[in-house]
Amino acid sequence: MPHRQSLSALNRMLATGGISSTEITTHFLDRIEQNQQLNAFVSVDREQTLAQAQQADHSRRNERNSNLKGLPVALKDIFCTQDLLTSCGSRILSNFVSPYDATVVERLDKDGFIVLGKTNMDEFAMGSSNESSYFGPVLNPWNTARVPGGSSGGSAAAVSARLAPAAIGTDTGGSIRQPAAFCGLTGLKPSYGRISRYGMVAYASSLDQAGPITQSAEDAALLLQTMAGFDSRDSTSLDTAVPDYLSALNTGLENVRLGIPKEFLDPSIDAEVLSAIETALEEFEKLGAKLVDIELPNSSAGIAAYYVIAPAEASSNLSKFDGVRYGHRTAEFSDLLDMYEKSRAEGFGDEVKRRILIGTYALSAGYYDAYYLKAQKVRRIIANDFSQAFKQCDLIAGPTTPSTAFPLGENLDDPVSMYLNDVFTVPVNLAGLPAISLPVGFDQSGLPIGLQLIGPYLKEANILSAAHSYQKVTDWHQRIPGDYE
Ligand code: GLN
């Protein structure tokens, strides 16, 4: 059964001719059709996707082109695609088809990956529960009364229920790692600048980064290899060589110093999460890692700084959605201003409007210094804390989230408690660092728990190899929710 295989295993099976891309792709398309209750996908085009799989099989037979993998993946609906809708989870883009493909999409295509469909997400990637989507909430395959996390909730639910062998998400403040943690998956947020943002609908441009949501670190390395690299169309894309992530996977953990920030093991976080993290850290120690106590004294200010900076950038990025050039335009209006106002009022949901209001306020004359500039200073202090910490350790470890997946609806009326979910993930984006979440256990109600490993800038290979070492001796990452085995 292809859905019980990892992306890497499917890749090997394809290479030896044990299975065809058409067989794999058909199997996953069938599973997507049979599991629509999860609401993980916004658009799927079966015929077109199957045609691509047949083309991949054809090329593999005739051209012996090893690049043409024919591996299907799911794509968050934030990446522009010429062939499928790009809604970004919003009514305002609910009819938008992009005239070009995002660089990530081009790169996947070049290496022979096939897009199974576009996945549901929080509107404009704003959220931690996937409840702000215009297309309705996504359900967590481990327990459908729980959220899958957000904003890449559709991508995570799809991989968790094995509707796709892997998926692509984006992470501005935790949106790859938090849903990966809630759904029992491996989610990698690469360093800022490692992957091109061209054609990725912008939320907060100084924080946004694409990355893989997969079953394992090995699968994440496979996808990162394809996605990473310089792109002249993104001015923040980094022009440095991309290491060989796959061959670095087996570096091992011998003498790797794992820094444990005392701020991340706060007793206020869920006791079951804490105990799973402690058990996992013991496992890392057995594998040769050395645990060192470190401090990230200002990390608790991360949430406050992030929820000024991200909305500020969002308020500017989202001003282009005005009913003139893209997407939804109101049916009746008296003049241009009325058209703008009504189109935006109808097109954006409540959370997006809240962020635009906060961001516009924080950037306005008189408040700019007090809020935006202050938040930028805090950002620098948090980044400095990480630089200091990395003098004492090679990687930093702690929980990805303070709790396991919470019930649908629980935080909807309380944005601040929703925002607090990001307490361990947000500082990493503020500092532009790479980090991964990997599954390390379950709570008593059977919900997955994630451990976060943070690395110095551009050290994705070290993070991946540490996670891979752990996954070689544990099987948390291979668990599949009961209804989807
Ligand atoms: N939950 C955070 C927010 O709502 C992070 C979102 C993200 O990473 N895209 O901003």
**Burial status of residue 343 (CB atoms within 10 A of its CB: 0-12, 13-18, 19 or more):** buried
Look up 175 and say whether it is catalytic: yes
Residue 268 pLDDT:
82
Q: Quick check: 179 and 150 in contact, CB under 8 A?
A: yes
pTM of the model: 0.98
Q: How far is the CA of 246 from the centre of ligand 1 (A)?
A: 29
Write out the H or E segment, with its range, that includes residue 462: helix 460-473
Residue 410 pLDDT:
93
Residue 64 pLDDT:
64
Residue 339 has pLDDT above 80, yes or no: yes
Residue 267 pLDDT:
82
**What is the percent of the chain where pLDDT is above 70?**
99
pLDDT digits (tens, 9 = 90+) for 93-117: 999 999 999 999 999 999 999 999 9
Residue 66 pLDDT:
60
Residue 67 has pLDDT above 70, yes or no: no
Residue 274 pLDDT:
96
Residue with CA nearest ligand 1 atom 10: 126
**Pocket probe mutation, ligand 1, options 131, 151, 209, 306, max atoms within 8 Å of Cβ:** 151
**Burial status of residue 480 (CB atoms within 10 A of its CB: 0-12, 13-18, 19 or more):** middle
Output phi, psi for 218, to 5 deg: -60, -45
**Pocket probe mutation, ligand 1, options 76, 77, 122, 197, max atoms within 8 Å of Cβ:** 122
Strand 41-43 versus strand 114-119 pairing type: antiparallel
* Catalytic pick among 90, 151, 160, 216: 151
Look up 87 and say whether it is catalytic: no
Q: How far is the CA of 111 from the centre of ligand 1 (A)?
A: 29
Indicate if the alpha-carbon torsion angle 434, 440, 443, 447 is positive or negative: positive
pLDDT digits (tens, 9 = 90+) for 119-164: 999 999 999 999 999 999 999 999 999 999 999 999 999 999 999 9
Which of 83-97, 201-215, 409-423, 435-449 shows the lowest per-residue confidence on average (mean pLDDT)?
A: 409-423
Residue with CA nearest ligand 1 atom 5: 173
Residue that the structure tokens 């051209």 belong to: 63
Q: How far is the CA of 321 from the centre of ligand 1 (A)?
A: 20
* Catalytic pick among 129, 175, 196, 299: 175
What is the Cα–Cα distance from 3 to 416, expressed in whole angstroms? Answer: 38
Instruction: State the average pLDDT over residues 5-18.
Output: 95
> What are the residue boundaries of the structural domains of the chain, listed by start?
2-258+391-484
What is the Cα–Cα distance from 325 to 339, expressed in whole angstroms? Answer: 12
Residue 48 has pLDDT above 90, yes or no: yes
Q: How far is the CA of 386 from the centre of ligand 1 (A)?
A: 21
Residue 60 pLDDT:
85
Q: Which atom of ligand 1 is nearest to the CA of 421?
A: 1
Which amino acid is located at 32 in the chain?
I
What are the pocket residues of ligand 1 if the criterion is a CB atom closer than 6 Å to any ligand atom? 125-128, 151, 171-175, 203, 310, 422
The dihedral formed by the CA atoms of 386, 208, 375 and 127, expressed in degrees to the nearest 10: -110
User: What three-state secondary structure class fits 445?
Assistant: coil
pLDDT digits (tens, 9 = 90+) for 281-303: 999 999 999 999 999 999 999 99
Q: Which atom of ligand 1 is nearest to the CA of 419?
A: 1
Could you give the count of Cα atoms lying within 13 Å of 194 in the half-sphere of its Cβ? 30
Residue 416 has pLDDT above 90, yes or no: no
Residue 415 pLDDT:
85
Residue 314 has pLDDT above 90, yes or no: yes
CA distance readout (Å), 25 to 1, 19, 81, 431, 480? 12, 11, 19, 38, 19
> How many residues does this entry show for the chain?
485
What distance, in Å, lies between the first and last C-alpha atoms of the chain? 10
User: Architecture of domain 2-258+391-484 in CATH?
Assistant: Alpha-Beta Complex (3.90)
Instruction: State the average pLDDT over residues 317-330.
Output: 94
Written as six digits, the tokens of 401 are: 């989230």
Which of 82-86, 324-328, 467-471 shows the lowest per-residue confidence on average (mean pLDDT)?
A: 324-328
Mean pLDDT over each residue of the chain, to the nearest integer: 96
**Pocket probe mutation, ligand 1, options 77, 128, 358, max atoms within 8 Å of Cβ:** 128
